[in-house]
Structure 1
Amino acid sequence: MPASPRPRVLLLFGGRSSEHSVSCVTAASVMKAIDRQKYDVIPVGITKTGQWTLVDSDPGEWTLASGRRPEVEAGASQLHLTDGEAGDEISVAKESRLISGANGEIKDLGRVDVVFPLLHGPFGEDGTLQGMLELADLPYVGAGVASSAIGMDKHYMKVVFEAAGFQIGPYAVITDKQWRRDPAAALEGANGLELPLFVKPARAGSSMGITRVDDREQLREAVEAAREHDPKVVIEQGIIGREIECGVLEGRGEQLPRASFPGEISVSNEGHTFYDFEAKYVDDSAALSCPADLPEEAQQAIRRLAVAAFDAVGAEGLARVDFFYTSEGQWVINEINTMPGFTPNSMYPQMWAKTGIEYSELIDELIALALERPLGLR
């Protein structure tokens, strides 16, 4: 490809997790909104088996409009990041390049200046991809290795937040070995939790594999459903309170992280017992109120807490922090998402739009933050 003075952005999506299709939908939105006069965009999809392939840059190929969930298909060639020497493995490099290999032929697709990983779930949002990009000395949008791993694992996330002084809800954890060794004994850890319970895969998002349990007889089946997505399962006691979210955007240079206006989700479809995948992406039953209807003091409190949560896990770039606001005026932290849903209709971009940063501007800011960030330890 001919040399270009514009930054070359590798837009990476798809992936090996159960959130593959969500990632594709997100990529379609970014492809449509990114400033092509400012950036050269290289769309690269990762199949469900892990193959990297150059894909169609038409956003229409990756939406839910057809009624099907989009999926990256394997291409004729496989793509690799190298230091510019054909055939080399990924290595620390002064200039990373994208190499295409097919039928024994190697083609240099040019340099890569920054990666925008629109990947959700394991093998994309959990620090594994971030570690590879760190080894390649390649800037990327979003959180680093440790913060991505902490943000992905609902168990360790709670450990970190509790250590940082946040109020968290009661919960229990069931590991794969505990379940395989003695399921009945594993379930005993949830005996002290009050109904309703929410059973979740420890390392999944987009409400995949989550079950609300109102009868303890349902608990074993709910754990099995969660284990279809992750062998490690978290059981949370339901919290009585309003669900309030806040977006955080890293500050430039030495500036502090910025917090959006808080938002509140309401789900109008009575078929949803919680904010599940269908409500998020399919049937338009969810609505966002932003700023949330809260006293000014409470709004300022959640914005401070969201920034503190961002710092507690060492996040970078962006994150959405979710809280419960109880009738006693207490804030109970639920989770942090270091690569939140990022379509224009997703809560993170919507909250920033209400705060004054539109979608295309938000994309631009995230790329600028990634290019500004120093490589290596920081």
Structure 2
Amino acid sequence: MSLTNGDTKERLKVVVLYGGDSPEHEVSRTSALHAVKSIDLRRYETHLVAIDKSGLWYEFKRDLSSQDQSKLNQPLPIEGHQINPIEYLSAFNSMKLIVFPILHGPNGEDGTIQGLLELFDITYVGSGVLSSALCMDKIKCKELLYAHNIPQTKWVSLHKSSITNLKEHSIGIDGDLFVKPANMGSSIGISKVTDRKNIKKALLEAAKYDEWIIVEEAIHGREIEVAILEDGEPMASLPGEITPGADFYDYEDKYEDGATLQIPAPLTDDEILKVQDLAKKVFKLLNCRGL
């Protein structure tokens, strides 16, 4: 085995998996760069595996060197020699290995990759098959949280087949609306509807990305976020507050510096505890693990 930085100890192999065939492909490549830049190569033998937009796998870097690490730029490239994922994973299942799936959207965050890794008995970072699928599907997630009295905005779901005959005022929710694909992230396919004449246009946009659509009451409040880490018992970070640069926290705000972020969020001690407790409760209900 090759070694870097003069290390003489066997290092744990880490495979960083990124890209993917979802509309969030570019986001995944950017996220993976931040993770790879932070890896301590003295402790981890790092392999970079890319998935292109058609679903083909490539081994971009085998045993990343510190020189390679310093030269990486945004976003991580999709290149290298093509590999068969089944053969590649089969060769690893008896080794000390962990996969870091930094994939966004369908076929990445929805339990599919997680299930593949479990079939090969490969350890990976993040939540398992069930919780990944639940967290990805906004409808099923909301139904579960509703059953446990977790507060949320008014919402309805509908299938794309019902769009054609839908009446402008038949949604049953007053005021402004958000229309979203049920299984998508990064604010892709989301529209804010302030005029009911535009509801069908918004529904058709969401239907480009999923057959199921969710319509939510728009809440004009503050965007508060909190991170969770879990190693036995979940731990909540201090909350942060996002101030969108646009009408809502859209794709450009998330990934092109349109929004401003304040950490910690200006909240009272009481409010901080409430946010943290609620985040940990939801984390447990959805059976999440790791982060």
* Same fold per superposition (TM over 0.5): yes
Tell me if 1:193 matches 2:169: no
Shift in alpha-carbon separation, 1:137–1:187, aligned structure 2, 3 A: farther
SS in 2 for 1:77: strand
The answer to which structure, 1 or 2, has the higher relative contact order (CA under 8 A, 6+ apart) is 1
- The 8 Å contact of residues 199 and 211 in structure 1, kept in 2 or not, is answered as yes
Q: For structure 1, which segment, 242-251 or 208-217, has the greater mean C-alpha deviation from structure 2 after superposition?
A: 242-251
Match 1:213 to one of 193, 198, 206: 193
* Structure 1 residue 77, shift from structure 2 partner: 2.5
Per-residue Cα deviation, 1:189-248 (whole angstroms, up to 9, x for no partner):
52x112211111111111111111100111111111112222221111111322211111
Shift in alpha-carbon separation, 1:296–1:62, aligned structure 2, 3 A: same
- The 8 Å contact of residues 168 and 196 in structure 2, kept in 1 or not, is answered as no
Match 1:222 to one of 202, 221, 224: 202
- The 8 Å contact of residues 45 and 52 in structure 1, kept in 2 or not, is answered as yes
The answer for the alignment partner of 2:6 in structure 1 is none
State how far apart, in whole Å, the 2-side matches of 1:214 and 1:186 are. 16
State how far apart, in whole Å, the 1-side matches of 2:73 and 2:158 are. 36
State how far apart, in whole Å, the 1-side matches of 2:73 and 2:190 are. 25
The answer for the alignment partner of 1:278 in structure 2 is 252
SS in 2 for 1:24: helix
Structure 2 unaligned blocks of 5 or more: 4-8
- The 8 Å contact of residues 21 and 71 in structure 1, kept in 2 or not, is answered as no
- 1:96 alignment partner AA: N
SS in 1 for 2:227: strand
Per-residue Cα deviation, 1:253-272 (whole angstroms, up to 9, x for no partner):
xx4200000111013x4xx1
Tell me if 1:171 matches 2:155: yes
- Identity of counterpart residues, as a percentage? 39
- The 8 Å contact of residues 27 and 62 in structure 1, kept in 2 or not, is answered as no
The answer for the alignment partner of 1:143 in structure 2 is 127
TM-score by length of 1: 0.69
The answer for the alignment partner of 1:29 in structure 2 is 34
State how far apart, in whole Å, the 1-side matches of 2:220 and 2:52 are. 40
Tell me if 1:289 matches 2:289: no
Structure 1 unaligned blocks of 5 or more: 65-69, 85-89, 98-110, 319-378
SS in 2 for 1:184: coil
* Structure 1 residue 118, shift from structure 2 partner: 0.3
SS in 2 for 1:194: coil
SS in 1 for 2:43: coil
State how far apart, in whole Å, the 2-side matches of 1:314 and 1:246 are. 17
State how far apart, in whole Å, the 2-side matches of 1:162 and 1:17 are. 28
- The 8 Å contact of residues 52 and 78 in structure 2, kept in 1 or not, is answered as yes
State how far apart, in whole Å, the 2-side matches of 1:189 and 1:76 are. 53
* Structure 1 residue 174, shift from structure 2 partner: 1.7
* Structure 1 residue 47, shift from structure 2 partner: 0.8
State how far apart, in whole Å, the 2-side matches of 1:61 and 1:157 are. 36
1:151-170 matched pairs, under 5 angstroms = 151-170=135-154
State how far apart, in whole Å, the 1-side matches of 2:138 and 2:73 are. 29
State how far apart, in whole Å, the 2-side matches of 1:281 and 1:161 are. 28
Shift in alpha-carbon separation, 1:43–1:186, aligned structure 2, 3 A: farther
The answer for the alignment partner of 2:271 in structure 1 is 298
Measured on the aligned residues, the alpha-carbon RMSD in Å equals 2.3
SS in 2 for 1:9: strand
State how far apart, in whole Å, the 2-side matches of 1:247 and 1:294 are. 16
Per-residue Cα deviation, 1:326-370 (whole angstroms, up to 9, x for no partner):
xxxxxxxxxxxxxxxxxxxxxxxxxxxxxxxxxxxxxxxxxxxxx
The answer for the alignment partner of 1:331 in structure 2 is none
